[in-house]
Amino acid sequence: MTLPAKPIVLILCTGNSCRSHLAEGILRAAADDLVVVHSAGSRPAGYVHPKAIQVMQEIGIDISQHHSKHMNDFLAHSITTVITVCGHADQACPLFPGQLNRHHWGFADPAHATGTEEEILNQFRRVRDEIKQVFEAYAAGLRDRP
């Protein structure tokens, strides 16, 4: 008997440089045995923000091998759930083949933070922690399903 493939969750933001990678890393750590997690952007920046990598390392999650991808790269995939983490991506998001669920959980973009190095890092940490709270709760809900 062959088990069905794991559902695919695609997390979208505009640049796919920060918030979506934070969410991807956190959801993968919290629910990797239940789902396959990817992230992409409507206008990918072409890199993962170094401060996003740094604040994830602080909580023991390595996203240093992630790379920025365009959401159209996933149009040929059977995406079960799409989660947008910024308003622009929510508006630009197409319907993906096989898509059953769509959620929008918006977060501030720490890539636009200003101030001292420590103040900027604190903005990244704050957004990371907000994303962590939401996506760990989402993963717990996945675990509670039959």
Sheet holding 36-41, edge to edge: 36-41, 8-13, 81-84, 101-104
Q: Element (H or E) spanning 128, and its range?
A: helix 117-144
Q: Using CA atoms, how far apart are residues 3 and 20, in angstroms rounded to an integer?
A: 29
Instruction: Spot the catalytic one: 71, 93, 134, 139.
Output: 93
The separation between the first and the last C-alpha atoms of the chain, rounded to the nearest angstrom, is: 19
User: Has 13 been annotated as catalytic?
Assistant: yes
Instruction: Spot the catalytic one: 10, 13, 26, 79.
Output: 13
DSSP-based three-state secondary structure for 13: strand
Q: Using CA atoms, how far apart are residues 125 and 132, in angstroms rounded to an integer?
A: 10
**How many Å is the Cα radius of gyration of the chain?**
15
User: Has 18 been annotated as catalytic?
Assistant: no
User: Closest by alpha carbon to 82, among 42, 122, 114, 120?
Assistant: 42
Instruction: Spot the catalytic one: 61, 82, 86, 89.
Output: 86
Active-site amino acid positions: 13, 86, 93
